[in-house]
Structure 1
Amino acid sequence: MARFKPPITRRETAKGHHYVDGNGDRIPGVTTILSDGLPKTALINWAANATADYAVDNWDMLSDLPVAERLKKLQGGRYGVTDKAKKRGTEVHGYAERLVHGEKVANVPELLRGHVEAYARFLDQFDVQPLVVEASGVNYSVGYAGTLDLIADLTIPKLGVTRVLADVKTNEKGIYGETALQLAAYRHFEKLLVDGNEIDMHEVERCAAIHVTSDSAELIPLTVDEQQWRDFRYAREIRRFANESRDLVGAPVEPVKETTIASIEWREAEAS
Structure 2
Amino acid sequence: MTAPRLAQQTEHGRMYARTVGGALEVPSITTVISQAAIDLTGWAGHMAATAVVQDEKLAAAVGQPGRLKAIAREASRAAEAFRDAAAERGDRVHAYCEQLALRDLDRAHELEKSRDDLAAHGETAFADRVDEWWKLYAVRPIAAEVTVWNATVGYAGTLDLVAEIAGRPCLIDFKTKGTTRDGRAKALDPKVGMQLVAGYKAEELCTDAEAGTWVPWPYGGELPMLLGVAIAETEVVVQQASPETLPTQWRRFWALRQVWETGRDLAAAGPALRPIGPPAAAGV
Classify the TM-score, shorter chain. 0.7 to 0.9
4+ residue segments displaced more than 6 Å: none
Q: Does 1:20 align with 2:33?
A: no
Q: Which is worse superposed, 113-122 or 70-79?
A: 70-79
Q: Matched residue pairs, number?
A: 245
Secondary structure of 1:109 counterpart: helix
Equivalents in 1 of 2:128, 2:53: separation in Å? 35
Equivalents in 2 of 1:81, 1:140: separation in Å? 36
* Kept after mapping to 1: 8 A contact 2:27/2:155: yes
Shift of the alpha carbon at 1:124? Answer: 1.6
Shift of the alpha carbon at 1:32? Answer: 1.6
2:183 alignment partner in structure 1: none
Q: Does 1:38 align with 2:36?
A: yes
Equivalents in 2 of 1:214, 1:244: separation in Å? 43
2:164 alignment partner in structure 1: 153
Selected match of 2:215 from 188, 199, 208: 199
1:141 alignment partner in structure 2: 152
Change (3 A) 1:9 1:27: farther
1:123 alignment partner in structure 2: 134
Q: Does 1:174 align with 2:187?
A: yes
1:218 alignment partner in structure 2: 237
* Aligned sequence identity (%): 21
* Kept after mapping to 2: 8 A contact 1:154/1:164: yes
Alignment RMSD: 3.1
Change (3 A) 1:239 1:57: farther
Equivalents in 2 of 1:241, 1:55: separation in Å? 41
Equivalents in 2 of 1:241, 1:119: separation in Å? 41
Shift of the alpha carbon at 1:165? Answer: 0.5
Shift of the alpha carbon at 1:132? Answer: 1.9
Change (3 A) 1:71 1:242: farther
Secondary structure of 1:251 counterpart: coil
* Kept after mapping to 1: 8 A contact 2:6/2:18: no
Shift of the alpha carbon at 1:68? Answer: 6.6
Selected match of 2:276 from 239, 253, 257: 253
TM-score (norm 1): 0.78
Q: Does 1:109 align with 2:122?
A: no
Change (3 A) 1:112 1:74: closer
Selected match of 1:186 from 183, 186, 199: 199
Equivalents in 2 of 1:24, 1:214: separation in Å? 40
Question: Which consecutive residues of structure 1, in runs of 5 or more, have no partner in the other structure?
Answer: 1-7, 156-160, 260-272
Secondary structure of 1:78 counterpart: helix
Equivalents in 2 of 1:231, 1:79: separation in Å? 28
Q: Which has the larger radius of gyration?
A: 1
